[in-house]
Chain A
């Protein structure tokens, strides 16, 4: 589980840290940086998917020319805060003493109309250099864990890495090659997975450094960023498609897969009847002439409703259920404006669903919201990690503060409720009021104390 995310010079953030819990809600007005947090997580996800940095930040196309990845909004020219020459994302994963902090820094060279990545760097646990791809002069080089060295010439098309351990005899263990255009960072997963088979000793060196790449750090591989599209959810889908797409496509076939398991089906129907006024007792999955299924809700009195005619709210709630109850669950979910299309009286149930899922399964959910009501439904643990994203007037950078870290927050939330305070703007107001007052005169320096001379000296 991610426990914190630090953003340095990343998009609208100059330097901000987000503390994360199993279910983290991000509040904040429009255009203050909530979606930039999503971009930061997508950056980590891109690395987890072994994409190169240009692909992660730009776009990635599949073999058939189809776009398989939409880049970070604004691309390379806008990824660093106020045209900074580098940005860094630090993800802390694991809990308590098993915490690992991974800091990824990317340097950008800016010319008149172009921007180019010139360096990438990974540090673990407070500055320990894992690798760096250029030296101070800009020549390509590679340093791994302060032990592995390989200098490379700029002319080489292939970025050949000779892996060696700095034994006194300079013994080399193995070597592998990467195209120069690819990010080493992105290949870390790929290479690491083959390492044990490749060379047990090499694997040992990685393990020795306690990076846990195949556990916590690899959360980045298993992340989902849903943005529901009602049209996509209404479409019938091939029964073989059992993964819900990011916009909700394949909803019918995912529901069909869930319903194959009696227990999962029961859970699905129970949640559905709680979340909607429908008296749903069953699902049917008829097929169209092309063999695609379209899920149909069956109510107690026999009324049948296909997803094509289901209400927008019902579709959204079904999509949440499919995301959590469907096969191949992810370890991390990000939802933007989670309350969209959901009636305020049902928000408590949605929160209950999410809190239930993060408690029962090894998953983490981050969601943005504009809904004070949703905040009011958060359980104690979720409220601990709920954060406000805000921006001070006349200041260009976005800031993050945990709601409970605001002065007096615990007392006033207990007394007045988070929903009411959010509706009246208390969190945002207090984030502004807690800033130091430049008009206040600094306290006068205390005159130095005169030492009393001891009697007799």
Chain B
């Protein structure tokens, strides 16, 4: 299977998403899936949600069977609705070709998915519900954990190592994981 991941911030998010999606696809019987991460010219939610950008990527990648857009929810409840519309619009054209477009939002940031890999090291007072509800889990949870584990100098300030850890433990981990 050929999968292209679209994201808001390819510089940081790919550390977490690439290994995680490899693990997910392996879990569903696609261990050799080719997963590439798209490098958008413009980063951020505003560019990621633009249908013209998504349409362009779909047109460029005629070999891709599954597109997955991953964004931060950032506390905005209405984002799911926008993503649903994008999914519907994209799949209208892709569906008849046997291809799919999925859009998922992390509660509230992609970094929460990386925390799944170290669930046993998280402060016992922390709960997933609290982490999910936090608007800035990157600053509040991910950053302190990476610092405590001495990962701030590693690629992605700990995202690379923690993303792989999360993948290693998939499908266990955060209930937040897709």
Q: Which residues of A contact B (CB under 8 A)?
A: 407-408, 412, 415-416, 420-421, 423-426, 428-430, 432-435, 437-440
Contact = CB atoms under 8 A, between A and B. Distances in A.
A412 to B, nearest CB: 5
A420 B34 contact: no
Given A429-B61, A432-B34, A439-B33, A420 B39 contact: no
Interface residues of B, number: 22
A408 B39 contact: no
A220 B18 CA distance: 44
A434 B63 contact: yes
Nearest to B36: A429
A416 B56 contact: yes
Nearest to A423: B41
A428 B4 CA distance: 12
Contacts of A408: 62-63
Interface string B22-33: 000000011111
A434 B32 CA distance: 13
Contacts of A412: 59-60
B88 interface: no
Contacts of B64: 433
B40 A424 contact: yes
Nearest to A392: B34
B32 A439 contact: yes
A429 B32 CA distance: 15
Contacts of A433: 2, 34, 36, 61, 63-64
B133 interface: no
B34 A435 contact: yes
B5 to A, nearest CB: 11
Of the candidates A407, A428, A430, the one having the most CB atoms from chain B within 10 angstroms of its own CB is A430
B100 interface: no
Nearest to A426: B60
B39 A424 contact: yes
Contacts of A437: 1-2, 32-34
Interface string B65-87: 00000000000000000000000
A428 B38 CA distance: 10
A303 to B, nearest CB: 39
B36 A420 contact: no
Contacts of B31: 439
B177 to A, nearest CB: 22
Contacts of A421: 60
B99 to A, nearest CB: 12
Contacts of A440: 1
Contact of A425 (B34, B39, B56, B63): B39
A424 B10 CA distance: 10
A92 B61 CA distance: 34
Contacts of B36: 425, 428-429, 432-433
A425 B32 contact: no
Contacts of A428: 36
A402 B64 CA distance: 20
B23 to A, nearest CB: 14
B80 to A, nearest CB: 27
Contacts of A438: 32
Contacts of B30: 439
Across the A-B interface, the 4 shortest Cβ-Cβ residue pairs: A433-B63, A438-B32, A429-B36, A425-B39
B146 to A, nearest CB: 25
Interface in B103-118: none
A437 B66 CA distance: 14
Given A407-B63, A432-B36, A438-B32, A424 B41 contact: yes
A433 B65 CA distance: 10
